[in-house]
Amino acid sequence: MKKMRMMIVDDEERFLSTMKKLLAKKGYDVVTASSGTEALEIMSVQNIHVVILDVKMPGMDGNETLRAIKKRFPLSEVIMLTGHATMESAVEGLKSGAIDYLMKPADLDDIIKKAEDAFEKIQGTEEKIRVARMRKIMKSPSEIIQDS
């Protein structure tokens, strides 16, 4: 079982540092990014499973970042963290591919639960890919004969 690597993206520095400490104490592997651009950079060099993404950020905003992540790193799951409790942003996020959303101020336990759920889904998907790949390698005897 692989260990989950999480990334928290938010423009509030204090939030990032405290969350990192908290999640580390709970035993999670956490990286942080303070902007969408930074987040994408990190994801291009590291494998991030679950992203906790703030919706409202200066520069590249949450939704834009979400779409970019889903495009470039489709296997990663994104959980939206929204400050304005409007349904629109959450719905839009879900439509754009976020797996779930949370409203600020969010409970630490809620965040952890949703992240775990997301990681579970990722593992399930990876399993299916592996199975599909295996099936492709394990051809039928008749096919082997045809190939050779």
Q: Binders of other proteins among 91-120, rule CB under 8 A?
A: 103-108
- C-alpha triplet 55, 104, 80: angle, nearest 5°: 35
State which of residues 4, 6, 7, 19 lies at the interface with other proteins (CB under 8 A): 19
Pairwise CA distance, residues 30 & 24, whole Å: 7
Q: Which of 27/141 has CB closer to other proteins?
A: 27
Q: Does 33 bind other proteins (CB under 8 A)?
A: no
* Candidate segments 14-22, 71-79, 92-100, 123-131, binder of other proteins by CB under 8 A: 14-22
Q: Does 130 bind other proteins (CB under 8 A)?
A: no
DSSP letter string, 48-111: -SEEEEES--SSS-HHHHHHHHHHH-TTSEEEEEESS--HHHHHHHHHHT-SEEEESSPPHHHH
Binding site for other proteins (CB under 8 A): 12, 14-15, 18-19, 21-22, 25, 56, 81, 83-87, 103-108
